[in-house]
Chain A
Amino acid sequence: MKYLHLVVTGLTGLLLILGSLDMPATGDPQAPAARHVSPRYIEQSFEETAVPNMVTSVLADYRSFDTLGEVTVIFTGALAVLLILRTGRRDDEKEGL
């Protein structure tokens, strides 16, 4: 079938829109994403860490293990590109590393 891709894409889109009709309205202060753990972070982050920016305090203090894994991912990405693209066959010019 020539148009199989379009049919599958349209069907998936319709199912996703049907599933998203149950979500709470955007910007609702009583949505479940803003009620259980989030007020505790907002209210107590300044007196515990003395840093006004709540995003930085969650990223670098409460969740610093995830940021350590993140830095490892970017380091591994640079290492992988180095291993794929530098084959070391240049013998006519001196290359720094």
Chain B
Amino acid sequence: MLDFAIGNFNNVTYVILMMIGFYAMTGKTNLVKKLVGMNIFQWSIILFIVSLSAKRGATIPIVLGSHDHGETPVIDALQYVNPLPQVLMLTAIVVGLATTGVALALLLQIYKQYGTLEEDELLEKIQTSG
């Protein structure tokens, strides 16, 4: 029971982080807070998938002893951490950067046009002016 708890408690941590981001996206009415909530949600998923690549007693996925000239080193798959989830999450991080940049640009234009960033005041102004 105890080693089950030790082996699986970090999944509970990632779910708690995910739910903090989810509550900020749906429960707050300010647009900047919703954007921060989306960022927290996305980063919790990236951390969760990177944690799937861990291996007990293994080292980073760079081949040891590769600079001795002329001999190819012996590579054992149990000695190195799984590189595949980390590679896919590199792409996800850069996509998150581009999404946050475009969302901030949209927020700047909304503030210039309507003068407010609260969701209910924005809905009133859109309905009375358009």
User: Which residues of A line the B interface, CB within 8 A?
Assistant: 5-6, 8-10, 12-13, 16-17, 20-21, 23, 25-29, 31, 33-34, 37-39, 41-43, 46-47, 52-55, 58-59, 63, 66-67, 70, 73-74, 76-78, 80-81, 84-85
Contact = CB atoms under 8 A, between A and B. Distances in A.
Given A54-B61, A85-B108, A42 B83 contact: yes
B12 A17 contact: yes
A16 B45 CA distance: 13
Interface in B78-94: 78, 80, 82-87, 90-91, 94
A34 B27 contact: no
Contacts of B123: none
Given A33-B53, A46-B75, A73-B98, A17 B15 contact: yes
Given A26-B51, A27-B54, A27-B55, A52 B66 contact: yes
Q: Is the interface of B mostly helix, strand, loop or mixed?
A: helix
- Interface size, B (range): 35 or more
Nearest to B66: A52
Interface of B: 3-4, 7-8, 10-12, 15-16, 18-19, 22-23, 26-27, 51-56, 58, 61-63, 66-67, 72-73, 75-78, 80, 82-87, 90-91, 94-95, 97-99, 101-102, 105-106, 108-109
Contacts of A63: 87
Contact of A77 (B11, B15, B62, B98): B98
B63 A70 contact: no
